[in-house]
């Protein structure tokens, strides 16, 4: 069975909106697009390249798909990110019918959780989710996330779309790997570890 793996760039206060540039997503009047730029370094580039080495498919929400489709096909085809992104099969979740113009794209619609369960059960490489906050909320709620990579950046914003929004659901996660970049970005990998168990610390 293939896995669904999320990779999310977040601030210390959990904001995931528009890390790469002002033009990515200004919805809601968000004015801090590009907050990731000044805390990226060569060590993080190396980590990203490692993530892109294994064969993978991409699973994207419609907004992230449109951003990526408008950018990566226009880059140098041999770019270390553009090449695997353009070659990968892209599954885009959309509630509206449309004709995708990015190569190797398939549209997922209708009963999305059921469709994703079928994709997980099918043969093929693991599916990597980039960005796609609304989609991640669905995946967490339906317990469809098999691995979660969080890149936590040493900045706070105070406003914007957050990774763990209301309705995320309760669960326990196990830290399976971590590293710290030279600029202080923490890359932590988590896997599901069952239901949340509560108790009393001070008896």
* pLDDT, tens digit (0-9, with 9 covering 90-100), for 8-21: 999 999 999 999 88
pLDDT in tens, 153-189: 999 999 999 999 877 888 999 999 999 988 899 999 9
Q: What is the DSSP letter of 72?
A: G
More confident residue, 129 or 202: 129
Looking at the chain, the whole-number percentage of residues with pLDDT higher than 90 is 77
pLDDT at 72 over 90: yes
Q: Is the pTM of this model over 0.85?
A: yes
Question: In 3D, which of 83, 93, 8 has the Cα closest to residue 49?
Answer: 83
> Which run of H or of E encompasses 68?
helix 62-69
User: What average pLDDT score do residues 121-127 get?
Assistant: 96
List the one residue out of 186, 161, 136 whose CA is nearest residue 18. 161
How far is it, in rounded angstroms, from Cα 144 to Cα 5?
9
Structural domains in the chain, sorted by start: 4-192 (3.40.430.10)
């Amino acid at each position: 069975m293939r896995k669904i793996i999320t990779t999310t760039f977040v601030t210390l206060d959990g904001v995931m909106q528009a890390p790469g540039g002002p033009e990515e997503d200004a919805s809601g009047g968000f004015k801090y697009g590009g907050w990731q730029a000044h805390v990226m370094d060569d060590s993080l580039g190396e980590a990203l390249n490692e993530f892109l080495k294994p064969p993978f498919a991409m699973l994207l929400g419609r907004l992230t798909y449109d951003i990526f489709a408008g950018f990566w096909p226009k880059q140098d085809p041999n770019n270390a990110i553009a090449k695997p992104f353009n070659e990968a099969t892209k599954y885009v979740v959309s509630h509206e019918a449309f004709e995708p113009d990015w190569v190797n794209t398939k549209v997922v619609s209708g009963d999305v959780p059921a469709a994703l369960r079928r994709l997980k059960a099918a043969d093929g490489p693991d599916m990597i989710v980039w960005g796609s906050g609304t989609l991640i909320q669905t995946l967490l709620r339906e317990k469809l996330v098999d691995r979660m990579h969080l890149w936590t950046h040493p900045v706070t914003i105070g406003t914007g779309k957050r990774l763990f929004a209301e309705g995320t659901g309760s669960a326990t996660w196990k830290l399976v790997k971590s590293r710290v970049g030279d600029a202080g970005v923490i890359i932590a990998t988590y896997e599901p570890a069952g239901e949340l168990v509560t108790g009393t610390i001070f008896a």
